[in-house]
């Protein structure tokens, strides 16, 4: 990849959110985030258009030299193949490992909770040593959390408020489909949404714990992906894993940042 490019664009096209960054040698110059919706190609195109606009605003000389349209574009994520203008595609595993290292040098374990899957990645200097991934069931994924919150007419922003009550009812089902049926039954019995969301967070943490045991959990541990900013999820993970899961600033963009790093810096 062109190591002399002034700017590199990284796009992480997930199943729920499409994230992008404009990266140069001094850091992240711009961010873009769009709901993925049903058309991944259009979502990636919107993110790309935003970042190209930022590049033209930030570096007018670059625009003058007609380099904005020729910046390397590195795509990752569930919909990476739908980013039609990409110059390269990389796996989510390598992108999140590299992005986490960029944001927190020395990180050793990355937990990524995406819309479709969750992953635990052992890293060293941004390189992937090993990983475990749950992509067979929605339980433990961001989609599962979103599904539960939608039942309560709540959104992801309300989750930490519900978790702050520290009320938990343990869910017996390990499958998202059966868990949804169980949740309906719990509501009929009068359990609160705080208790049920607490149970969902615990269930997610237990599932990730089983993946972590196979990877070999080593601190520092960080959380990336769409739930990266949730203090409630980090707390649930920390309690079950018995190690602090640290807040990673811009952790939601870790995949996009890692893709850009792989592409140019």
Distances (CA, A) of 171 to 125, 142, 178: 38, 17, 10
* Mean pLDDT of the chain, nearest integer: 87
Neighbour tally for 244: CB within 10 Å:
14
Is pLDDT of 172 > 90? no
Checking if the pLDDT of 113 tops 70, the result is yes
Prediction pTM value: 0.87
Range list of H helices, 59-192: 60-64, 92-103, 142-151, 159-163, 176-188
pLDDT at residue 191 in the model: 87
pLDDT of residue 255: 96
Average pLDDT for 179-196? 84
Region 217-232 average pLDDT: 92
The structure tokens 């258009």 sit at 49
- What 8-state DSSP symbol labels residue 253? G
Quickly count: other Cβ atoms within 10 Å of residue 235's Cβ.
18
- Comparing CA positions, the residue from 57, 62, 61 lying closest to residue 30 is 57
pLDDT value for 1: 42
Q: What percent of the chain has pLDDT over 70?
A: 89
pLDDT beyond 80 at 127: yes
| Whether pLDDT at 63 is above 60 | no
69 or 120: which leads in pLDDT: 120
């Amino acid at each position: 990849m062109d190591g002399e490019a002034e700017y590199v664009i990284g796009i992480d096209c997930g199943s729920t959110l499409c994230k992008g960054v404009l990266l140069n040698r001094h850091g992240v110059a711009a961010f873009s985030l769009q709901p993925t919706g049903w058309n991944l190609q259009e979502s990636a195109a919107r993110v790309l258009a935003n970042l190209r606009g930022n590049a033209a605003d930030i570096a007018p000389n670059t625009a003058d030299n007609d380099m904005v349209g020729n910046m390397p574009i590195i795509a990752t994520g569930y919909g990476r193949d739908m980013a039609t203008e990409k110059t390269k595609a990389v796996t989510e595993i390598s992108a999140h490992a590299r992005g986490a290292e960029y944001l927190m040098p020395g990180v050793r374990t990355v937990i990524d909770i995406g819309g479709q899957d969750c992953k635990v990645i052992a890293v060293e200097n941004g390189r992937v040593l090993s990983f475990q991934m749950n992509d067979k069931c929605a339980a433990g994924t961001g989609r599962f959390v979103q599904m539960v919150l939608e039942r309560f007419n709540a959104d992801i922003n309300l989750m930490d408020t519900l978790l702050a009550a520290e009320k938990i009812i343990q869910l017996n089902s390990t499958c998202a489909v059966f868990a949804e049926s169980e949740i309906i039954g719990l509501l009929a019995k009068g359990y609160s949404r705080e208790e049920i969301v607490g149970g969902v967070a615990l269930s997610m943490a237990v599932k990730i714990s089983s993946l972590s045991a196979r990877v070999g959990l080593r601190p520092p541990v960080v959380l990336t992906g769409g739930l990266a900013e949730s203090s409630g999820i980090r707390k649930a993970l920390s309690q079950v894993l018995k190690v602090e899961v640290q807040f990673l600033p811009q952790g939601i963009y870790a995949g996009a940042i890692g893709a850009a790093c792989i592409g140019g810096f």
